[in-house]
Amino acid sequence: MSAESSEETFLSPAEWCDVVLQVEGKKLHFSKAYLAAWSPVFRRMFYGEFRENGKDCITLPKKKLEDIQEMFRCICPMPKMKAVTGILFWFS
């Protein structure tokens, strides 16, 4: 089994990442919009009345690093996203 890259473990930021979740002392980089779309808890956390609203780094105590990484992989199976360029879109 090959070792996972930092993109596959979400330990390094990509240009689409806008939030850091700190779990077991590690910083995981991800997208607020992705998390909010998949989880009502994260939706309220980022866009509701939770104290985490507006923060760019959130600590998740009592969570396991492996569990959060696996959740991220389920939400976004290709963490190293590439920009789509050279495509012409027509709007009528």
Contact criterion met (CB below 8 Å) for 18 and 56:
yes
DSSP per residue over 77-89, as a string? S--S-----S---
Mean predicted lDDT score pLDDT of the chain: 81
Can you name the CATH fold of 6-75? Potassium Channel Kv1.1; Chain A (3.30.710)
Confidence of residue 1 (pLDDT cuts 50, 70, 90): very low
Which pair of structure tokens corresponds to residue 11?
A: 């330990």
pLDDT tens per residue across span 17-47: 999 999 999 999 999 999 999 999 999 888 8
Cα–Cα distance, 69 to 59 (Å, whole number): 14
- Strand-pair category, 26-30 with 57-59: unpaired
Q: Cβ of 11: how many Cβ atoms within 10 Å? A: 15
Q: Say whether pLDDT at 9 is over 90.
A: no
